[in-house]
Amino acid sequence: MVDTEPAAIDVEGLRMRYGSVDVLRGVTFRAGRGEVVALLGPNGAGKTTTIEILEGFRTRSAGRAEVLGVDPAHADERWRARIGVVLQSWRDHGKWRVRELLVHLSRYYAPYATPERPRPWDADALIRAVGLTEQAGKKVRTLSGGQRRRLDVAIGLVGGPELLFVDEPTAGLDPRARLDFHALVRRLADEHRITVLITTHDLAEAEKLAHRILVLSGGRIVADGTAAELARRMAGEDEVRWTLDGERFAVSTPESTAFVRELFARHGAAVAELEVRRTSLEDTYMALVREQEQGAAR
């Protein structure tokens, strides 16, 4: 996909240092318009720091950052109106009613409407889209965890953003609410061509949600590509297990198919309990992160 528009996010050599600790040591990546990108990494890898710098909530130590063509450290309210942030909320606005809160927050965006981008979005349509119609008149604090998350998404979208930041979206959600949430984000991104940057420590989630995955580890982007590309690039060895005359064997090999053919050619029917386990993306991801951490420790 060749995109002639400038990138939604363009980051180069981003560094963040707290005291003597380097949290980010040169993060570089781009996200095109309309792309859903997952920033994947273990806890403490610097995902939240990265996203907070891009949201304009935190000042970087060094490097270049452009979000929608503007440096977030010096961005104004006009830029703020083009960004949606889904906060890891807790209990803010608990006394407010769902619709009341959404309508209220939408009002701030009206002065920033442009012919191409009508702002804000209609609160009722949004409530329908995130499936909270029945809860529209309820107080926010009475919502379940999943409903609250969906309200957070609605709040992030109410200004008609061109770019949406979502930090650890499904932490603390049950599997059902998680699936609903994934579907919601995918659908919204597809329908409205919003660029989405999501942070997660869950590989399965990144795989399901994102067009592209960035693996952040040790303060650097260590891999960048689609799930399939990552699996191919990081392809490790498959594991083959079998028994021969009651004795157990296990071998790791990059060419499991050829290995098994050879195995049968040599031993024929004596081979039993054959098991071939292909390296999952999970395994390669874990290997990648472990490698990085050991490298950093050395």
Partner 1 sequence: MNTAAGRAGWSRGAIEFRQSFTNGADLTAHLLWPVLMLVALWFLRDREFGDSGLALGTLALPGILGMNVAMGMVSMSQHLTADREDGTLLRARATPDGVRGYLVGKVVSVGGGLLADLAILMVPGALLIEGMRVDGASSGLTLGWVLVLGLVATLPAGAALGSLFASTRSQGLVQLLVLGVISISGVFYPVTSLPDWLQGVAQVFPIYWLGLGMRSALLPDAAAAVEIGGSWRHLETAGALGLWAVAGLVVAPLVLRRMARRESGSTMAVRRERALQRVG
Question: What residues line the site for partner 1 (CB under 8 A)?
Answer: 48-49, 51-52, 55, 57-58, 77-78, 80-81, 85, 87-96, 100, 104-105, 107-112, 155, 159, 167
Give min distance, CB of 117 to partner 1, in A.
13
Residue 220's CB is within 10 A of a number of other CB atoms, namely 18
Give min distance, CB of 216 to partner 1, in A.
15
Task: Name the residue nearer to partner 1 (CB basis): 81 or 203.
Answer: 81
Task: Name the residue nearer to partner 1 (CB basis): 32 or 156.
Answer: 156
Task: Name the residue nearer to partner 1 (CB basis): 196 or 234.
Answer: 196
The alpha carbons of the chain give a radius of gyration, in whole angstroms, of: 23
Nearest to 86 by CA among 174, 181, 203, 17: 181
Give min distance, CB of 91 to partner 1, in A.
5
Give min distance, CB of 156 to partner 1, in A.
8
Give min distance, CB of 110 to partner 1, in A.
6
Which residues have a Cβ under 8 Å from the Cβ of 54 and sit 6 or more positions away?
9, 11, 65, 67, 72, 165, 197
Indicate the SS3 state at residue 115.
coil
Rounded to whole angstroms, the Cα distance separating 13 from 65 reads 9
Task: Name the residue nearer to partner 1 (CB basis): 87 or 276.
Answer: 87
Task: Name the residue nearer to partner 1 (CB basis): 196 or 231.
Answer: 196
Fill in the amino acid letter for 18: Y
Task: Name the residue nearer to partner 1 (CB basis): 14 or 155.
Answer: 155
Give min distance, CB of 273 to partner 1, in A.
48
Backbone angles phi, psi at 94, to 5 degrees: -60, -30
Task: Name the residue nearer to partner 1 (CB basis): 34 or 161.
Answer: 161
CB 58 within 8 Å of CB 18: no
CA dist 26 → 36, 46, 218, 220, 222 (Å): 22, 11, 10, 6, 11
Backbone angles phi, psi at 233, to 5 degrees: -65, -40
Give min distance, CB of 245 to partner 1, in A.
57
CB 215 within 8 Å of CB 40: yes
Rounded to whole angstroms, the Cα distance separating 106 from 124 reads 11
